[in-house]
Chain A
Amino acid sequence: MKSKILALLGGTLISGMAMAGGYQVNLASQRQIGMGHTGTGLETGTASIFFNPGAMSYIRQNGVTVGASGIISKIAYRAPEPGTSTAEADNPLGTPFQVYGAYKVDELLTVGLGIYTPYGSTVKWGDEWSGRFGLNQLELQAIYIQPTVSYKVTDKLGIGIGFIYAIGGVNLQRSIPVQNQAGEYGKAELDGGASGMGMNVGVFYKPTDKLSVGLNYRSKVDMEVKEGDVTFTNIPGSLSSRFPEGTEFDARLPLPATLSLGVGFMPTEALTLALDISRVGWSAYENLRFDYSQNVNGSPTSVNARNYEDTYIYRIGAEYKVGEALALRGGAYYDNSPVQNGYLTPETPDADSRGLSAGVGYQVSENLSVDASFLYINKKERTDASDKSGGIGGTYKSIAYIPGIGLNYTF
């Protein structure tokens, strides 16, 4: 059964589009999405593999969790005043997912494996819009595979560490402003697989039954693309030597480090409150650079500045147990954009975003529970000249609806 689900998820590896700051996708647990994606300062079951490996040693039973979200997102674009051209990104359904398994070796040591998709972006503007020479379509995907160990130092203190092996890829398509005799524009497609490594460490401290705190650090992962394929189409014959067939590219995309501090507060048996603050090391993303194996239009590289800024995300969440079986959840967060003025691009037309979430959990049987979540993201309308990034200037507005469902099995 598990392998079937994994295979199924493997078939839809495209993770969500950029609905968090930059191209981060904060959808790592269906219970925690319902609580505004807090969780660093809580024992979150198997999802502690992601939120805080230090809390993993506090799980009471072995467990397996699988879950997925569906991102329905739309981005509107309008050309700078007094232009009239508009566009809407027709993004495919994003399907970020998570699979966690945790096993208690003994009272003190717990081991686990997590597979999740913390970064990804699929934006599809098409090849008709006025910004098509900047971007037609971009897919970024990253799947983190994280074997993890957690050790209960005392009844109040746990530490954990996970090794991250990330796999993924990039596919970028854009129109080239050269036209053949039929007036058709050239097109370039860059496609390549990528991989990288990193780690996830956490400390969890629970001084009383009512209070817990956690600190988590997920390191930067440099995703490196080696010998990706560059495919040119519709290039006029007289220019074919400038856009040579068989060109390959190397690129590197940093998936930034995230440092999170979380607090959990349990005033009663039924109520859990949580607060998280994260700092995302976006400043690692300085430029988007492609190195070509042979000159493309006379140049061996293509470099566009990004100069992202480090950002903070503020989250609050709550869970209330209505009875033995049913839990209701709600949360909200505010996510600052790492994109500075002048650097807005159509790949991640980012702006400060507000997230509102709700969720339910239901204990079906002693071993099986279901979580469902719904997240609404509304990004502020943003107008930018995009004159420093080679982007497409104009006004962008994004919203997303993200339903999700997950299953937990304990044994």
Chain B
Amino acid sequence: MKKYIYKTGMLALFAGVLLTSCDPEIDAPSASAGQADFTKYVAVGNSLTAGYADGGLYREGQLNSYPAILAGQFKLAGGGEFTQPLFTEEQSNGSGYLKFTGFDQAGSPILEPVKDKLAIRGLGADTKTPLYTEYLDEVNNLGVPGIKMVDVTTAGYGLNNPLGFNPYYERLIGNDPLPTSGFMPYVSKVAATNPTFFTMWLGNNDVLGFATSGGVAAISDAAKFQTSLDAMVAALTANGAKGAIINIPDVTGIPFFTTKATAAIMAKATAAKTALFITTADGTVRPATAADFVLLTSTVGTPETVGTATIPHGFSPYNPLANSEVLDEVEVTAVKAATTNFNNMLSTAAQAKSLVYVDMNAFFNSIQMKEGKATLNLNAISYSPAFISGNLFSLDGVHLTPRGYAIVANEIIRNINNKYGAHVPTADETQYRAVLFP
């Protein structure tokens, strides 16, 4: 009997060991918030925060905004619900956006605007700005495409008026001329959300507006940038919230400025026994140098009539690229100086309040191509800032693809974990799309 018990005991033990170890398992630390509190996460920022992509704000981009991806990961570490001002399914194309429909004979991508299922409800009082379907419930993602740091304290920035206003902000606050509605400055709207955790990615447009206009629009005033930044950080941290301040990447590293590589166009001009001519800010026409950036939106190379001849646009001093088609060398210097200056202010602000400072500028600088090879490789996919093929940037050459936003979200998570001793898991970036090919 004793022997029998022993035998069955051993058998049960053996079976038990076999069953419990039947599937291999890999232990992982459980998610935690560390010193952070993700109960109410609020995202503040511009188009990048809103999920803008392919030259427009639309539902798919919103759903894949980096704040939405972050919130999904925060949830694993005690984060709460995260509401975004989503366009409805019926109006899913929002502001409209660019769709990639093929290549032209020169091998350039053909981009066509999407015109159906828009969320445009009419024109503003200025009779030109489209108004978008409103979303007046409280939201956690306060990303407003186009907003600059220097706009955040402006009363009436979201009021439908004839003086120019931001329709993406207008749709969030209602249009009554009251301090609690249309006249409410962005900073007050943000303060009212009372977050426990925030991300702030503002300031890009303070230099980008200048850069994408080829130096026609102005760079924001530095003193105004500082006071606006102070007001914003004060509003966000009024109740002791922790958060992350994300800095401004060098805009000249993005496809909007690098796709029509000046050196390559100059070489073409040289081959045609001429040179590439540009117009600088003071109206001077001069041959281009490799330090000038031809913009993605430039029509350089398009055959045009010059006198009696047909010459590619820019290939003659009598038909130079317009000032608005080029960020010339002087303007590039101004952009870089302003970026450094603004980033110093952002860094100081983060330090003063012991906030996370995400050096997105350094991150984007680290993923430029090196010797023809991508330096960022994740899960057997290469990433670079190359237009379309780089997998990071969407069809406007400025904003990211959903996968690009996921990679940015992961970079922010790593910084948060590092600063606050948190263990927020990163997202699987392969679950997000890059550019869709026709």
Contacts and interface: CB of A to CB of B under 8 A. Distances in A.
A75 B24 contact: yes
Nearest to A177: B381
A3 B409 CA distance: 61
Interface in B14-37: 18, 21-26, 28-29
B421 interface: no
Given A177-B434, A180-B436, A183-B433, A81 B28 contact: yes
Contact of B379 (A181, A392, A396): A392
Contacts of A132: 430
A120 to B, nearest CB: 20
B428 A83 contact: yes
Contacts of A398: 24
Contact of B437 (A130, A179, A395, A401): A179
Contact of A76 (B24, B433, B436, B438): B24
Nearest to A88: B23
Contact of B413 (A82, A239, A387): A82
Nearest to B413: A82
B16 to A, nearest CB: 15
Nearest to A174: B380
A232 interface: no
B426 interface: yes
Interface string B347-383: 0000000000000000000000000000001011100
B417 interface: yes
A374 to B, nearest CB: 11
A134 interface: yes
Nearest to A236: B437
Given A131-B379, A133-B380, A134-B380, A86 B26 contact: yes
B45 interface: no
Nearest to B18: A401
B102 A238 contact: yes
B318 interface: no
A392 B380 contact: yes
B380 A390 contact: yes
B426 A83 contact: yes
Given A82-B426, A84-B76, A130 B379 contact: yes
Contact of A134 (B23, B29, B379): B379
B430 A82 contact: no
A74 B23 contact: yes
B428 A179 contact: no
A75 B26 CA distance: 10
Contact of A181 (B24, B28, B434, B436): B436
Interface string B395-438: 00000000000000000011001000001111110110111111
A236 B438 contact: yes
B95 interface: no
B425 A84 contact: yes
Contacts of A85: 428
A109 interface: no
Contacts of A74: 22-24
A378 B26 CA distance: 13
A381 interface: yes
A153 B380 CA distance: 56
Residue from A84, A131, A180, A387 with most neighbouring chain B CB atoms (10 Å): A84
A31 B170 CA distance: 80
B65 interface: no
Contacts of A81: 28-29
Contacts of B413: 82
Contacts of A86: 26
Nearest to B430: A130
Contacts of B18: 401
A399 B24 CA distance: 6
Contact of A79 (B428, B433, B438): B428
B424 to A, nearest CB: 7
Given A83-B428, A181-B436, A76 B26 contact: yes
Contacts of B102: 238
Contacts of A387: 377
A289 interface: no
A140 B311 CA distance: 59
B26 A82 contact: no
Contacts of B103: 238
Contact of A397 (B25, B435, B437): B25
A78 interface: yes
B391 interface: yes
Contact of A180 (B76, B381, B431, B437): B437
A180 B426 CA distance: 26
A281 B24 CA distance: 29
Contacts of B26: 76-78, 86, 381, 395-397
Nearest to A179: B436
A177 B417 CA distance: 30
Contacts of B430: 130, 132-133
Interface string A353-392: 0000000000000000000000000000100000100111
B28 to A, nearest CB: 6
B24 A238 contact: no
Interface in A60-118: 74-79, 81-86, 88
A133 B429 CA distance: 12
B25 A76 contact: yes
Interface string A43-74: 00000000000000000000000000000001
Interface string A156-180: 0000000000000000000001111
Smallest CB-CB A-B distances: 7 pairs: A236-B437, A134-B380, A84-B425, A397-B24, A85-B428, A133-B380, A76-B24
18 contacts: A74-B24, A76-B26, A81-B28, A82-B417, A82-B423, A84-B28, A88-B23, A133-B381, A177-B391, A178-B437, A179-B435, A181-B436, A183-B433, A183-B436, A238-B103, A381-B26, A391-B380, A392-B379
Interface of B: 18, 21-26, 28-29, 76, 102-103, 377, 379-381, 391, 413-414, 417, 423-428, 430-431, 433-438
Given A84-B427, A238-B437, 6 more contacts: A74-B23, A82-B426, A88-B23, A183-B436, A237-B437, A397-B24
